[in-house]
């Protein structure tokens, strides 16, 4: 994944295992903090991140037209912030990534999946609160 340094703007390649850790910019040595916001993934980047992440990954399958998906979006963001350094939160647009949604049997959205070391730990359809999401991630080892 490419992350821009907030100090100098340099684009830094950060491998999936390091996304949940604090790092440094390769140019100015400024801080690149662990991710604390959801990452938008497509089919190309999904497998690498989920397989190689050293922390549990919460996946939010959603679509722009989905009212419940829009309603739960702030909760997903809050969960990413609260779990900074202990888990990653990703979003997958089901309209743009239909085969990925089919792989997980997504029939209704929002649909949440938690994976750890490439293995499915939890999945559930429907909107849930942040404490439920955090609970799933903690049960998976966050």
Selection from 2, 13, 9, 15 nearest residue 28 by Cα: 9
User: Does residue 66 have an active-site annotation?
Assistant: yes
- How far apart CA 115 and CA 105 sit, in angstroms, is 15
Distance CA 40, CA 1 (A): 11
- Of 94, 82, 16, which is closest to residue 50 (Cα–Cα)? 16
The CA distance from 69 to 16, in Å, is 26
At residue 137, what are phi and psi to the nearest 5 degrees? -65, -40
Q: Residues 5, 8, 25, 66: which is the catalytic one?
A: 66
Cβ contact 33:64 at 8 Å: no
**Catalytic residue flag (residue 8):** no
From the candidates 5, 8, 28, 69, which is the catalytic residue?
69
Active-site residues, by number, are 66, 69
């Amino acid at each position: 994944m490419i992350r821009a340094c907030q100090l100098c703007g340099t684009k830094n390649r950060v491998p999936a295992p390091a996304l949940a850790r604090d790092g440094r910019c390769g140019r100015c040595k400024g801080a690149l903090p662990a991710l604390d916001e959801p990452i938008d993934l497509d089919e190309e980047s999904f497998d690498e991140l989920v397989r190689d992440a050293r922390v549990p990954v919460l996946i939010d399958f959603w679509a722009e037209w989905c009212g419940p998906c829009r309603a739960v979006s702030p909760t997903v963001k809050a969960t990413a912030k609260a779990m900074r350094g202990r888990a990653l939160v990703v979003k997958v647009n089901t309209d743009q990534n239909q085969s990925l949604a089919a792989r997980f049997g997504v029939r209704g959205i929002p649909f949440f999946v938690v994976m750890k070391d490439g293995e499915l730990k939890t999945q559930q359809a429907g909107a849930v609160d942040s404490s439920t999401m955090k609970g799933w991630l903690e049960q998976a080892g966050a």
